[in-house]
C-alpha cells in the first residue's frame, strides 16, 4: 500500500511540489482560521449578554466584539466610523479564506497539467515500427499520469468544503455583530 502511494506521487512528476504547497496552505489556513474564529475569540457569551442588556462590559478585551465596543466608546458621536470599524473587523475575520478559493480552483488544474504531461510521456514511447505501445507499459503509464489529477482533486475538495464552512461561520458572526452593533450604537448615543 505504501509503495503504491509513493508511485502515485511519482506519477505526478514535478507538479507534486506545487500540489504539496497547495495542500500545506490548505491545512494551515483551515486550522488557523478555525482556531481564530472560535466563539471565545469573536464574541463570548458573557460579553454578548452585557451588550444586549446594557450592563458594563467585563472581560473579553481581546475579542472582536470588545474591540468594536472600545472603538464605539472612543468615538461616541461618529456612527459611520463605528460601522466602518465593525466592517473592518469582519474583514479581518476573513483573512486567508479567499486563498482557499484559489486552492480549490488551482489544484485540479495543476493536477490536470500533470496528467497531460504524463500522457505525453506515455505516447512518446509508441514504437515507430508498429505504431503500437507496449500494452503493460502503456496502461501503467496512463494510470500514473492520472495520479496528478487525483491528487489535485484530493486537495480541491477539502479546500472547497473548508472555504464553505469558514465563509458560513463568518457570515453568521457578521449577522450577529450587525444586531449587536445596533445595540452598541444605541448605547453610544446616550
Task: Express as a percent the part of the chain with pLDDT over 70.
Answer: 95
In angstroms, the Cα distances linking 138 to 6, 34, 115, 147 are 19, 44, 14, 14
Tell me the pTM: 0.84
In angstroms, the Cα distances linking 25 to 29, 67, 78, 137, 139 are 6, 29, 40, 35, 33
pLDDT at 31: 97
131-181 tens-digit pLDDT: 777 777 777 777 777 888 999 999 999 999 999 999 999 999 999 999 999
Region 101-127 average pLDDT:
87
How close are the terminal C-alpha atoms of the chain, in Å?
Answer: 69
50-85 tens-digit pLDDT: 888 878 777 667 899 999 988 988 888 888 999 999
3-state secondary structure of 152: helix
Amino acid at each position: 500500500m505504501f509503495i503504491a502511494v509513493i508511485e502515485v506521487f511519482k506519477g505526478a512528476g514535478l507538479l507534486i511540489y506545487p500540489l504539496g504547497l497547495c495542500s500545506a496552505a490548505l491545512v494551515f489556513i483551515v486550522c488557523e482560521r478555525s482556531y481564530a474564529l472560535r466563539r471565545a475569540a469573536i464574541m463570548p457569551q458573557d460579553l454578548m449578554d452585557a451588550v444586549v442588556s446594557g450592563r458594563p462590559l467585563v472581560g473579553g478585551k481581546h475579542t472582536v466584539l470588545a474591540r468594536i465596543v472600545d472603538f464605539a466608546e472612543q468615538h461616541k458621536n461618529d456612527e459611520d466610523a463605528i460601522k466602518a470599524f465593525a466592517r473592518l473587523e469582519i474583514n479581518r475575520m476573513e483573512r486567508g479564506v479567499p486563498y482557499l478559493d484559489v486552492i480549490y480552483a488551482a489544484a485540479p488544474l495543476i493536477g490536470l497539467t500533470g496528467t497531460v504531461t504524463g500522457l505525453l510521456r506515455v505516447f512518446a514511447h509508441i514504437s515507430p515500427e508498429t505504431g503500437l505501445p507496449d500494452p503493460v507499459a502503456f496502461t501503467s503509464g496512463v494510470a500514473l499520469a492520472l495520479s496528478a489529477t487525483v491528487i489535485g482533486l484530493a486537495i480541491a475538495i477539502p479546500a472547497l468544503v473548508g472555504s464553505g464552512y469558514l465563509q458560513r461561520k463568518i457570515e453568521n458572526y457578521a449577522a450577529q455583530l450587525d444586531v449587536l452593533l445596533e445595540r452598541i450604537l444605541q448605547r453610544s448615543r446616550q
